Amino acid sequence: MGWAGWAARSACCWRSCSGSTSPDSSSSLGRSWSRSTRSGRGPAAAPSAASGNGLASGRTPPIPRKSPRAPETFRSTPSLRAPSRTRTARALPGPGRQPRRRSPPPLLPSHAPRPRGNPAKAEEPLATAVAFLRPPSPPGRPVPLFRPAAVLALVLAFATAAVAQEEGAPLVLVNGDTEVRSLGFEAVDGSLTLDPAALELQIATSAPSFCETAFLRCFGLGQPKPHPFNPIELQKDVVRLERYYERNGFPRALVDYSVELDTSRNDTRVTFQIAEGPPLVLEQVEFGKPGATPIADRLAPDLREDWNGFARSLVLEEGQRLTEFSLIELQNRARQWLRRRGYARADVGYESFLDSTGLAATVRLKVLPGPRTVYDEVRIERVDSLGQAAISDAVILREMPFRIGDTFDAQDLAVGQRELFALGVFQLATVDVLPESPPYDSTATVVIRVREAPLKVVRGFGGYFTEGGITLRSEATHRNAFGGARQATLAAEARTGILDQSSVADGLYDYRASLALRQPYMFSRALSFTVTPAARRRNDEIERAESVSLTNTLLYTRKPLQTAGLAASVQARRVDAFRSGASGFLDLGSVTEELAVTTSAVGLDVTAGFVDDPIQPRRGVLLRPSARVSVPGLSDFDYNRGALSVTGFYPLGERTGITAKASGGVFSTRGDTDLADPATYILLRDQYFYAGGANDVRGWAVTQLGPKLINFRMEEIQLEDGTRDSVTTVTGYVGLGGRAKAAGSLQLNLPFLLGPQWGSSLFLDAGIVSPATDPELDGAFGVSPATEAFEDILADEGGLRYSAGAGIQYLTPVGFIGVAVGLKLNPSYLDLRDPETLLCGPEALRTPIAGGGGALECDAGFRQAAANGESFDFESVETPSLSFLGLFDLGVPARVFQLQFTFGQSF
């Protein structure tokens, strides 16, 4: 023990002997709200009259006092844990139980000042200690030497304690300004069955999130909102959690808490400790009382066998944990089964009976089918229509999947409501049975209530992603342009290239404008027809072109995520061959400045989704096959294109799951169409397959996985003497495009510690692209050993490539913010090399252009070696390394990492 510790212990002993504690400064606060561990319920006693803590009745029972012995640490610990050498907040006595009588500790001397304010300040307890250690001495009497020595020891001890004992202070020091710094949940034995995020929603005690603390303070955006520590509310939270566990099938769950106080910050760390106990299990499902008429005998003869099969299916639920939700689900399943088969007024109740252990239950469903009903009448009620009945009754009735006289089916009501919303002209649409009908009536009157939405709507969207920069979209829609709920939508989209990280020459941009005219009803409510004229101007990773098109689409919709669309389109396009990707590596001597092409194709796009939630699926499979064939005689080129995408979802927990995705496609030509021709290759670049990007194989940029070429071209610059000269401009790599592609992704979705709106993921991606053509470099660079060697390198760029990485997502009111980092596991030769260094050589070896303002000749790389008919040492091209703030080399190739950032809606 050091001298400081000895001094502190001496001070405690002195305070015990001299009377250092007043009734107001005792630990009564901590005891007045602590959990009752001796009330008969064990450690999970609730703050109610039944628990005997005296709070529910408004009376505070006598508070037992602790002995003044100093504890080793100061921490409130729950009674659910094993005994430890810690200070435990003492419980209140239960009803009929008297507190243990102990002699009160001696009081502070009347002249000693009482500690006030923040108890973490060392000056106040130090002043108190000095006051009672040195009482007034009679005049003329010398002060004993041991008292100044004790005061000096206390000064040093309290100075040490102010630093060393910031945390672990007794809970009696809690005041009105104390806040909650962190909040957690832990299981006493094993792991928690219920999601901690769901538990946090049940309680009033809260803690600041990451954005409320570090983010706001780092960026100076203000102080986080307060999260006060309320001892009374903490006890109520215990009751809330126990009742929540009881509703979720844990009738014997015990909840306690642990609180750690940090006096230097005046905040606490709260941890709820939960002993879930055994679950309540569904033992048996019964229908009606024993000896009563079987339910099947009260149904129509054609439904009796089906009902018996349904009843047997409920046996599969036996042995599962019984919760309030599962009870309601059993009730709703039986009621919905009857309503789907004509029993519009079926009523199902339930009773539950516990066995002697209280851990097994028998559920009895009380079923009253009522009469079998048919549709008799349909009423339409308009509620505060803003459009003043612009949508006729005939339009509403045609969306209903039933007719008068059909047997009632509750599914018809849901389908009709969904179809009304799909028209896009209603803010409110409900379809239900008239509730005032007598329970014995065999006819059903359907009431449709609608409220029309504003007919003219203007909307705007925005976003950002790494390869496209800032993206914008605006729409102007008339929801009843030509009557009959026909819609006209004028849309404009833009990938601006602002703040993008692409390697497109002259800056990336992609502008689109379209006018979509939709007829929602084509001979059937499941068929709709849309005609869309559009225009596009683009300069992206694929080409620099302008186009106009006309597309006609006949769409069949069975249900959400189950559609099939037949499209016929014609497109006229002009392509700038010399400024499109890969043009520098092609022999374009016979190509004019611009190429024009007309294509006409017929396509089929299918979406087949079998998922639990169409908006945010967590379980199921989603398939998207597509096929497109050019129309002979109406298209300049003949080709076929097919693709398939399959996505699977499987949950592992409340907020964890696996997402697996596989995609692929094949492109082929027919007749005289030959991709070996440079002009044909350039004009069909928008039909090839590419890999890489945030939505494909992460670890590679868009179009960068697989065969690629250096994107460069010759530009003229003006020299200082007024003459002009040519300079080589290199912007990066460009994907060659593929005849075939296969890609896959396996992603583990996980929660993130910063809150329920945060998510994280770990992924493993792979992909392979078969080149659309084998470029002959002899025409562009001449015949040389360097050219032959580079062709071999391009041939090796194919093959299966892997990447792995991690990402973080945050949900904002305007969309997701996502950051992902991909690592190339088996990069190719070109993946690791800088394209300008490979083509033109290192800057230190290149010749400056006289009067060119720092421009350099392209005379120290592959291009110069090929022009000279020489060989080139490709292995001599250095691989750029990753450095830390430019200070030292980390020894990792810089180009193996790919950072992708997305925000909002991107196009």
How far apart (Å, rounded) are the C-alpha atoms in residues 604 and 564? 7
The DSSP result for 500-543, as a single string, is: -----TT--EEEEEEEEEEES-SSSTTEEEEEEEEEEEEESSS-
Using CA atoms, how far apart are residues 869 and 874, in angstroms rounded to an integer? 15
124's CB contacts (< 8 A; 6+ apart) are: 113, 115, 116, 117
> Has residue 44 got a pLDDT over 70?
no
Contact 473/511 with Cβ under 8 angstroms?
no
What b/e readout covers 848-863, taking b as 16+ CB neighbours within 10 angstroms?
Answer: ebeeeeebbbbbbbbb
Would the pLDDT of 399 be above 80? yes
Give the C-alpha distances (Å, rounded to integers) separating 731 from 736, 738, 855: 15, 21, 15
- Mean pLDDT across 353-357: 91
User: Which residues lie below 8 Å from residue 412, measured CB to CB, with a gap of 6+?
Assistant: 400, 401, 402, 406
pLDDT band at residue 35 under the 50/70/90 scheme: very low
Compute how many other C-beta atoms are within 10 angstroms of the C-beta atom of residue 295.
Answer: 21
DSSP state of 682: H
Length of the chain equals 907
Percent of residues, the chain, with pLDDT higher than 90: 51
10 Å Cβ neighbour count for 394? 8
Q: Which residues, 6+ apart, have CB-to-CB distance to 365 below 8 Å?
A: 285, 286, 287, 288, 330, 331, 334, 348, 349, 350
Residues 148-164 pLDDT 10s: 455 445 444 444 444 33
DSSP characters for 766-813? EEEEEES----THHHH-S-HHHHHHHHHHHTT-S-EEEEEEEEEEEET
Residue position matching structure tokens 């048996």: 284
Cα(786)–Cα(795) distance, rounded to whole angstroms?
14
* pLDDT digit string, tens, across residues 258-267: 999 988 889 9
Distances (CA, A) of 767 to 681, 792, 825: 23, 21, 12
Which residues neighbour 674 within 8 Å (Cβ) at sequence distance 6 or greater?
680
What is residue 257's three-state secondary structure?
A: strand
Q: Amino acid identity, residue 511?
A: Y
Instruction: Determine the average pLDDT of the residues in 270-292.
Output: 90
Rounded to two decimals, what is the model's pTM? 0.70
What is the model's pLDDT at position 199?
Answer: 94
pLDDT greater than 90 at residue 81: no
**CA distances (Å), 902 to each of 166, 748, 811, 816, 897, in order?**
42, 19, 12, 8, 17
Q: Is the pLDDT of residue 740 over 90?
A: yes
The Cα–Cα gap between 899 and 559 comes to: 37
CA neighbor of 338 nearest in space, from 305, 365, 370, 386: 370
pLDDT of residue 737: 92
Query: CA 436, CA 441: separation in Å to the nearest integer?
Result: 11
Rounded Cα distance between 44 and 551, Å, is: 67
Residue 551 has pLDDT above 80, yes or no: yes
Helix-then-strand count for the chain, H and E: 17, 30
- Per DSSP, the residues of 731-776 read EEEEE--EEEEEEEEEEEEEE-TT-TTEEEEEEEEEEEEEES----
Residue 457's DSSP bridge partners are 477
Which neighbouring-strand residues pair with 273? 186, 256
Domains identified in the chain and CATH numbers: 3-173 (no CATH), 179-275 (3.10.20.310), 281-368 (3.10.20.310), 374-452 (3.10.20.310), 688-907 (no CATH)
pLDDT at site 23:
35
Please name the amino acid found at residue 692: G
Contacting residues for 662 by C-beta, under 8 A, at least 6 apart: 645, 646, 742, 743, 744, 745
Q: What is the pLDDT of residue 590?
A: 60
Distance CA 732, CA 734 (A): 7
- Structure-token pair, residue 454: 């504003």
pLDDT at 712: 86
Render pLDDT for 222-242 as a digit per residue (tens, 0 to 9).
566 788 999 999 999 999 999
Rounded distance between C-alpha atoms, residue 594 and residue 880, angstroms? 37
Mean pLDDT of all residues belonging to the chain? 80
Q: How is residue 825 annotated by DSSP? A: S
Q: Are strands 426-433 and 443-452 parallel, antiparallel or unpaired?
A: antiparallel
- Which residue from 452, 456, 451, 460 is spatially nearest to 479, judged by alpha carbons? 456
Residue 385 has pLDDT above 70, yes or no: no
CA atoms within 13 A on the CB side of 182: 12
Burial (CB count within 10 angstroms: exposed 0-12, middle 13-18, buried 19+), residue 817: middle
pLDDT at 39 over 60: no
Q: Indicate the DSSP class of residue 288.
A: S
pLDDT-above-70 percentage for the chain: 77
Dist. CA 679–CA 637, nearest whole Å: 12
